[in-house]
Amino acid sequence: MITGRNKVVVVEDDASMRQALQRVLDVAGFSCTAYESAEAFLTGGADEDVACVVSDLNLPVMSGFDLLAELQSRGSAPPFIVITAHDAPALRAEAVCRGAGAYLAKPFAGTELIETVKVAITRTKPAES
């Protein structure tokens, strides 16, 4: 289990996928909150202490890349993991260029998501004195 900051936010427009992701992360010991859109997250939880964001790339209005850019412009971008069912090398490269910490193509195993989140959070933890 991750200790310290462990709040993970999931932004996914597909209700069944959103629930599945939340369930996997909750069982793994993360405190997970899920939103159906980038807009819902920005108005309802973006200012909270978030250790990592897992966001679908293709959301109805504001894309995952748009959400990442908005969080970066606010100066509070937590580690960001892009998930998508439309995998392409160009999208992977764009995710890296835009500052995403990881990119997962659907379908992926729950264990892969958990490990990716753990790595993302670990990379950004401040060093202990």
Domain span at residue 87 reads 7-124
pLDDT at 45: 73
Tens of pLDDT along 73-82?
988 789 999 9
Any domain includes 2:
no
Sign of CA dihedral 70, 7, 39, 37: positive
Any domain includes 129:
no
**Nearest residue to 103 via CA among 114, 112, 95:** 95
Rounded Cα gap, residues 35 and 43, in angstroms: 10
CATH number at residue 81: 3.40.50.2300
Would you call the peptide bond into 78 cis, given omega within 30 degrees of 0 as the criterion? Answer: no
Helices 110-124 and 15-27 cross at an angle (nearest 10°) of 60
Any domain includes 36:
yes
Reduced to 3 states, what is the DSSP secondary structure of residue 73? Answer: helix
pLDDT at 47: 73
Number of domains in the chain: 1
- Please determine, for residue 3, whether its predicted confidence score (pLDDT) is greater than 50: no
66, 42 contact by CB (below 8 A): no
Tens of pLDDT along 15-34?
999 999 999 999 999 999 99
Confidence grade of residue 128 (pLDDT, cut at 50, 70, 90): very low
